[in-house]
Amino acid sequence: MSSTYGDKIKVSLFGQSHSAAVGVVIDEFPAGVEIDFEKLQSFLNRRAARGAISTSRQEPDVPEFLSGFTGNATCGAPICAVIRNTNVRSGDYKGLSNTPRPSHADYAVGCKFGGFADFSGGGHLSGRLTAALCVAGGICKQYLESLGITVGAHIYAIAGIKDKPFDPVKIDKDTLLQVAAKDFPVLDDSAGQNMRERILQAKQDCDSVGGIIEFAVTGLKPGIGSPHFGGLENRIAAAVFGVPAVKGIEFGNGFACAELTGSQNNDSFYFDETGTVRTRTNNSGGINAGMSNGMPVIGRVAMRPTPSIAKEQDTVDLANKTDAKLVIHGRHDPCIVHRAVPCIESAVAIAVADAILADQ
């Protein structure tokens, strides 16, 4: 575990916010998968900081591939991609290990690794690592697309302002591609406009806001995933909590199912016009007993507000063993939900690709 994920493929993240580079190795990825590198770069760009609603640390994430390809196709050897850290200002983070930022990794990582931890810019725990995650995710997405499977996501809510939800029964590849193409990925652009204004307000308040991302996977045949600990829900959750700021995940109607009766919540089977078994509702989110049932896999992820805010906060001075005040300088996002959409897609894509490959 730790920074390595996967049962069949092994996705191994490395790098720190202010080390020479961040990157990823993907071992046991199948040979012969053609990668469209322009498309991959477009996907990575969806994660990039943009405009006033993001941090002013805006650097292009262009990976260099050190291994794993013959031409554009994977060759069966481990894939290694490296993204250099070009825009490093480590002075911004001086002294943070001593006065840990509330709700940030500083205190826990200091307890874990002692004085040897790299606190600069969040070190290995920085959101910067999601650039590497998205390289792996983008590759897995293209692999899944070659199997007819699409992974997508949208902003479901920011600070309580809600987008329209995906239709759990009808969600399809086209809808997923359309929302992915948007600069601010929501189904209802007027809700999106309200969200953006709320983010700008938070920025002005020296504060931050959180939100919810909804993801979906279409085209998955039934029977993928394993009983008990190898289920799709276990695997997706184990990957998604690897994205910083995630505090909850639910599948299908999720927490809402707790208020329903079985007769309300059960998804009845029927044969559709093509002779395919489907369910009339999809409260199960496409998963029964850990295994796909042929319906879209669907779920939602809760993301807390960015803990790095410019407002003065209470903390402790670990050297002097006194309470202390903290004002965080540096460049931070007033909201990371919109940038996290491709990160959640990546975590889901990696988990689903691994489940498929582990199952064969």
The CA angle 284-286-292, to the nearest 5 degrees, is 125
Shortest Å, Cβ 50 to a second copy: 20
Q: Does 237 bind a second copy (CB under 8 A)?
A: yes
Which residue's CB is nearer to a second copy, number 16 or number 175?
16
Q: Give φ, ψ of 189 to 5 degrees.
A: -65, -25
The CA angle 85-87-91, to the nearest 5 degrees, is 105
Binding window for a second copy (CB under 8 A); candidates: 11-19, 54-62, 137-145, 168-176: 11-19
> Is residue 8 classed exposed, middle or buried when 0-12, 13-18 and 19+ CB atoms within 10 A define those classes?
middle
Q: Does 358 bind a second copy (CB under 8 A)?
A: yes
Binding window for a second copy (CB under 8 A); candidates: 49-57, 168-176, 177-185, 239-247: 239-247
- SS3 of 126-182: the string is CCCHHHHHHHHHHHHHHHHHHCCCEEEEEEEEECCEECCCCCCCCCCHHHHHHHHCC
Give the N- to C-terminal CA distance of the chain in Å, as an integer. 22
Which residue's CB is nearer to a second copy, number 80 or number 174?
80
Touching a second copy, residues 244-303 (CB under 8 A):
244, 246-255, 257-271, 275, 277, 279-280, 283-285, 287-294, 300, 302-303
Touching a second copy, residues 214-233 (CB under 8 A):
221-231, 233
Q: Give φ, ψ of 250 to 5 degrees.
A: -140, 150
Q: Does 185 bind a second copy (CB under 8 A)?
A: no
Shortest Å, Cβ 55 to a second copy: 14
Binding window for a second copy (CB under 8 A); candidates: 12-20, 54-62, 164-172, 181-189: 12-20
Binding window for a second copy (CB under 8 A); candidates: 38-46, 50-58, 165-173, 315-323: 315-323
Which residue's CB is nearer to a second copy, number 192 or number 252?
252
Shortest Å, Cβ 100 to a second copy: 6
Q: Does 205 bind a second copy (CB under 8 A)?
A: yes
Shortest Å, Cβ 3 to a second copy: 5
Touching a second copy, residues 68-127 (CB under 8 A):
68-70, 73-80, 82, 100, 102-105, 107-118, 123-125
The CA angle 46-52-54, to the nearest 5 degrees, is 50
Confirm if 154 and 186 have CB atoms less than 8 A apart: yes
Q: Does 32 bind a second copy (CB under 8 A)?
A: yes
Shortest Å, Cβ 39 to a second copy: 19
Number of residues that bind a second copy (CB under 8 A): 153
Shortest Å, Cβ 177 to a second copy: 26
**CB-CB neighbours of 91 under 10 Å:** 9
Q: Does 63 bind a second copy (CB under 8 A)?
A: no
Q: Does 164 bind a second copy (CB under 8 A)?
A: no
Confirm if 268 and 280 have CB atoms less than 8 A apart: yes
Shortest Å, Cβ 58 to a second copy: 21
**Cα–Cα distance for residue pair 193/184, rounded to 1 Å:** 9
**Cα–Cα distance for residue pair 76/257, rounded to 1 Å:** 43
> Is residue 21 classed exposed, middle or buried when 0-12, 13-18 and 19+ CB atoms within 10 A define those classes?
middle
Shortest Å, Cβ 302 to a second copy: 4
**Cα–Cα distance for residue pair 267/349, rounded to 1 Å:** 25
Which residue's CB is nearer to a second copy, number 56 or number 177?
56
